Amino acid sequence: MPQTPQGPAMLQAKCPRCRRGKMFKGSMYSFGGNNMYENCPRCNLHFEIEPGYFYAAMYVSYAFNVAEAVVLAFITYNLTGNMESPWLYLAVILGGCFLLAPFNYRYSRVILLYWLSPKIHYQPYLDTDDPK
């Protein structure tokens, strides 16, 4: 089996160490789907490295929200040409960020574990179909 590239593993929210096990129990928009496994079902990596570790994901999530607000405002302006009402922008941005919240929640944690966690490294020897 060839090794799993990082991109698809991140999109599918797979474990950053083995790129095989799922991090979340269900799909992004299903009820309870964003509950996380405590440990990787595949390589048993403990996802929450330290207590409260995922508070740091809030910073990533914040960056997501800022970027999404800019994009939504840009789209709104291009579709409506609105220069008068700030309420339209506010409504679109708040509504959009609300709808995107499950996405932000999931991928802020994925990015935290993949890119911002020096203690976690990809281990190709775990990324295999062979039993250990």
Q: Does 57 bind Zn ion (CB under 5 A)?
A: no
Please name which of 98, 101, 93 lies closest in space to residue 72, comparing C-alpha atoms.
Answer: 93
Instruction: CB nearer to Zn ion: give 3 or 82.
Output: 3
Instruction: CB nearer to Zn ion: give 43 or 69.
Output: 43
> 19 exposed, middle or buried (CB, 10 Å; 0-12, 13-18, 19+)?
buried
List the x/- string, 16-45, binding to Zn ion by CB under 5 A: -xx--x------------------x-xx-x
Instruction: CB nearer to Zn ion: give 93 or 126.
Output: 126
Residues that bind Zn ion (CB under 5 A): 15, 17-18, 21, 40, 42-43, 45
